[in-house]
Structure formats: structure tokens, C-alpha cells
Amino acid sequence: MYALADCNNFYASCERAFEPRLEGRPVVVLSNNDGCVVARSQEAKDVGIGMGEPAFQCRDRFDRHQVVVRSSNYTLYDDMSRRVVRSISEFVPDIEIYSIDEVFLDLRPLGNPVATSLCQTIRDRVKQWTGIPISIGIAPTKTLAKLANRIAKKDPTTHGVFQLPKNDPDRALALDSVDVGDVWGVGSRWGARLRGLGVRSALDLARMPVEDLRKRFNVVAQRTALELRGVVCQDLEDVAPPRKTLVRSRSFGDMVTNFEQLSEAVANHAVRAAEKLRSEGGTAGQVSVFFSTNRFRDDLPQYHGGGTVELLPATASTPIILREAMRLTRFAWRQGFHYKKAGVMLGDLSFGEIQGGLFNTQDHEHDDRLMAALDEVNRKMGAGTLRPAATGVTAKGWRMKREHCSPKYTTSWRELPFAKT
């Protein structure tokens, strides 16, 4: 048996976890620069706010229904996600982190009869320990666990945990209640084609001849149908494939026209990328910088600048990566454009290997110790406490628009929540 644990309305639930007064009220979270709706509480869904709707089109409805609007606070969501995962793994050791708010669980070593009650316990504990409500679907394959999770979410009588029935008629009923477009991996494109062939529900898809599916679509569709029949085709992927690149980039809150602001933005991305790389125990053999104008503004001249240099030896040192990123920025900078976006990419990454050999020097060791001290201070005192001056000292126009952002409750001492007595 597999299970899929999925956080309900994750970003909205994170906002609520530290602000209980938001319970029962419609809450939405906006994308970067407060652009579009990317998460909705159930109440916000109920008043007809659509996923992905531009915020400015929703203003009237926000006012009318007193919707609580928040800018996205990924620092908080990432940390809450880690807490949820840690709580779940107290109960089930074999897990696959599928996305920021979804975890697959391998229940096979634990035995069948306990599955529902175990998952009910997990659900209660996660809520108690993190404040995040989750739903769990239990079934013999990952595709079916996804489907069972859908039912757990939609049907209040399940109390958030649903195990797919074992007997044929009940299971068929469950599969028939799910639209074919909502089956994991089918999506809107295949969904439309399948509907054209008279395949409307997950049950119809499970009953299609698999050879037919392979010929008309591909092996993925064939595998999906087999999984819907209860044949395991995908096991847990315990290790994520090592990343090949690490990118930090953002669109600016306002367009940027001067060099100082652009280089500050690039410096911030470089510093954050290097930090992230160290936290994963990696080194980069390459650093790239890119920045560009707004391609939707055809009334303005367009320019894409940037460049790449090799790092030898490979490194995760902030001063080295920053120095190269600044050099690239100076080289590619052109005056007279309105820049909309900038970023830094670290490439040629390696993980967990000792960078031995010819170019390893005393300096390298010194640098490692310096970076370890830097990371430790920032971990204890809050991100950005110690940082290169190139990243700037004041809030500037290039920063993201986040007019409705909640505090970083769990990762910054300065922003800890207060309990009034």
C-alpha cells in the first residue's frame, strides 16, 4: 500500500497557522510581485476566486467578501513544508517528497490493516504539531493513492483520510467519480483527446485496452491505466536526482534603469545561490549572470545581457562567486534600457565529492571555514545578518513587490510571533 499526504490549500494554511483569526475567512496568497492568485482557502474558492486570476481583476470581490490577501512568503512555506515532512517521517520512514506540499508514503512494511488508523493519527499529529491540515489517500499504487487523496479532500465524510475500497464494485464506483482529466499524469491535453474517445472517468481509462493506449498515446498513458488497475509501475523515488544547475532570479517590483540597482539585485541572487549551494554540500564549476528588459513592452528597446565564466577550482564560496558575478554584470551592462528581471545561475555542480588535487590550496580551506562561520551566524541571527556590502543596505525599487507579506515566523528571531498574556 502507498499513501499520498497532501496539505490542504497549503500556502493559505501556512498563513493561518500563525494567525488563527483567519480561520473561517477567505484567504488568498498572491504570486511574486503580487501578480496572480496562487493559493486559496476553501472560503475563497467558495466565493468564486479562480486559481491564477490576476489580483487586479479580483479587487472588487476581495472587497465585497473581505478577503484576506497575502503576498507569497516562500521562506515561511519552505520551513513549514519541512516541518510537515519531519512530522510524517516520525511515523513512516519510507517517504518521497513529491512537491512542497505532497509526500508519498510506502506503507507496505507496516501491514495493511493499520493503514487507515495510522494515517488518521498522522493527520491529527501533523495538525497538532504544525497547524497544517492535510488529507491522505491510501491505495495499492501511487496513481490510485493520488486519486484516493482527491476523494479524501472532496468528501467530508472521510475526515481527511480515504482508503480505496478493495472490493470491485466499490472501487469501480470510486474510480467512476473522478474525471479522467483529474487523473495523475493525464492533464488537460490528454484529457481532451481521451474524452473524444469516450473515456470520461478514471474507471473508463482503467478499462481501456492498454495496447491501444500505448499505440494512440505512449507508454506513460499505458502505465497510468495499469496503475489505475492496481498494477504497481512506479515505486517511491527515494533520492531526487542531483540537480544540474541552481538558479536564483526574480522580476523587479519596478523597472530598473541604473547600474547600481541592477548590480545590487545580481549580488543578492549570487549570495543566495552560493548559500543554497553550501547548504546542499555542493560546489559549482560555473557561474552565469543574466538580465533582461520586459519583452511585453514593445514600446521600449529590448536587451538581454549576461555571460558565463568557469570557476577553477569549483567552489561554493560567496566572495568568489560574487566577484565573478559582478565582473560579468559590469561587462554585460548597457545603459539606456528598462530592466525587468535579473538572475544568477550556478552550473557544473558536484555534490559530496572532495575537491582534491592540483588547485586545492590553503586559501581554499581558509575560505571554507569563513563560509561555515558566515552560515552559522546567519542561521542563528537570521538570514542576511552578515552579508557582502554589494548586496546593498536599503530597500530598493528592484526588490519584489510584497505589500501584504506576513512575517517569517519560523526562521527569523526578529519576526517571532508574540503570545499576549
Binding site for Mg ion (CB under 5 A): 6-7, 10, 101
- Nearer to Mg ion by Cβ, of 158 and 355: the residue is 158
- Map residue 156 onto helix, strand or coil: helix
Q: Kindly give the residue spans of alpha helices, DSSP state H, lying in 177-317.
A: 187-196, 202-207, 210-216, 219-228, 259-279
What's the CA gap between 7 and 22, in Å, rounded?
Answer: 17
- Residue number closest to Mg ion, CB atom: 101
Q: What is the DSSP letter of 418?
A: P
Query: Helices 10-17 and 74-89: crossing angle, nearest 10°?
Result: 90
CA atoms within a 13 Å half-sphere pointing along the CA-CB vector of 398 = 28
- Nearer to Mg ion by Cβ, of 81 and 283: the residue is 81
- Nearer to Mg ion by Cβ, of 10 and 337: the residue is 10
- Nearer to Mg ion by Cβ, of 150 and 272: the residue is 150
What's the CA gap between 269 and 177, in Å, rounded?
Answer: 46
- Nearer to Mg ion by Cβ, of 101 and 204: the residue is 101
The candidate with the shortest Cα–Cα distance to 106, out of 289, 238, 227, 280, is 238
Q: Cα-flanking dihedrals φ and ψ of residue 376, to 5°? A: -65, -45
Q: Please, what is the minimum distance in Å from the beta carbon of residue 14 to Mg ion? A: 11
What's the CA gap between 398 and 260, in Å, rounded?
Answer: 10
Q: Please, what is the minimum distance in Å from the beta carbon of residue 98 to Mg ion? A: 10
- Nearer to Mg ion by Cβ, of 7 and 316: the residue is 7
Q: Please, what is the minimum distance in Å from the beta carbon of residue 28 to Mg ion? A: 15
Q: Please, what is the minimum distance in Å from the beta carbon of residue 67 to Mg ion? A: 20
7, 13 in Cβ contact below 8 A?
A: yes
Question: The C-alpha cell of 168 is what?
Answer: 470491485
Q: Please, what is the minimum distance in Å from the beta carbon of residue 178 to Mg ion? A: 16
Q: Please, what is the minimum distance in Å from the beta carbon of residue 7 to Mg ion? A: 5
Chain centre to alpha carbon of residue 410: 18
Q: Please, what is the minimum distance in Å from the beta carbon of residue 36 to Mg ion? A: 17
What's the CA gap between 177 and 180, in Å, rounded?
Answer: 9
- Nearer to Mg ion by Cβ, of 153 and 272: the residue is 153
